[in-house]
Amino acid sequence: MKIKFLLLFLFASFLGFSQSVNDFKAVIVPIKFEFAKGINPYRLSTQTKANLVKAGFEAYYENDQLPAELINRCDLLYADVKRDNAFLVTKLFVELKDCYGKVVYTSETGKSKEKDFETAYRECLDLAFVSINNLHYKYNGKTGVVSSAITPAVSVAAVSAAPAVSAVSAPVTNLSDPNLLYAQPTETGYQLIDKTPKVVMKLMKTSRPDSFIAIKDGVQGTLNAKDNQWFFEYYKDDKLVSEKVSVKF
């Protein structure tokens, strides 16, 4: 009997912490894809955004200036189009991830036997979006859904055992800075892109929210929050170099 109640509790907890696309205000659309070269290849970005808007989502390209109400990156979903390798058949599907890179929804796979890539990709993407349209997306008004869902999963014992980390005020982002970099979530952290867009720096998460392992132009260092700003720090000729970096997460 005790086991039965425990299983029911765990199942209820899982349902309580699961995420829905309706928990997110908008979707960020990439302008580059792993399986195709260039920016907006075969108009994939354009078609992805158009299909998202058609499905009821508010959508922005990853290099767009976002409105103030979307400043919290965890209120957003991040779309990606993936290609399944198959002989004589083109297959595409869409993933929608949260700000931590966790997949919230994966579409059905669209298939095409067209030989022309642009035609095949367009057909596949439209078919993949049939399942997304069937979600009947409607924002439910939740905010900070990711952080609030994760917090209850941390046990009191784990919190007690964790080393104390002093609170750090979030660095101020200067949106008018011409060198502003935009953070895109990855499996291990983020990649920072400029307006070109070009990947300028790769970040890997550490145990501290105000510090990342950072790689820029083959140089490894750290990206640290200090004095309400971000700094890329590394050693060159046995001397510590600290470069100010403007980042929008």
Q: For 146-160, what is each residue's pLDDT tens digit?
A: 433 333 333 333 333
Percent of the chain at pLDDT > 70 equals 82
Q: What is the pTM of this model?
A: 0.55
Give the number of other Cβ atoms within 10 Å of residue 18's Cβ: 10
Give the number of other Cβ atoms within 10 Å of residue 188's Cβ: 13
Q: Does the 14-133 domain belong in CATH 2.60.40? A: no
Better pLDDT: 207 or 241: 241
Output the pLDDT for position 147.
Answer: 39
Output the pLDDT for position 24.
Answer: 93
Kind of pairing between the strands at 181-185 and 76-84: unpaired
Output the pLDDT for position 158.
Answer: 35
Instruction: Kindly report, residue by residue over 84-112, the tens digit of the pLDDT.
Output: 888 889 999 999 999 888 899 999 999 99
Range from 47-56, 173-182, 221-230 that averages highest in pLDDT? 47-56
| Per-domain boundaries in the chain | 14-133, 168-248
Please write down the HEC assignment for all residues of the chain. CHHHHHHHHHHHHHHHHCCCHHHCCEEEECCCECCECCCCHHHHHHHHHHHHHHCCCCEEECCCCCCHHHCCHHHEEEEEEEEECCCCCEEEEEEEECCCCCEEEECCCEEECCCCHHHHHHHHHHHHHHHHHCCCCCCCCCCCHHHHHHHHHCCHHHHHHCCCCCCCCCCCCCCCCCCCEEEEECCCEEEEECCCCCEEEEEEECCCCCEEEEEECCEEEEEEEECCEEEEEEEECCEEEEEEECEEC
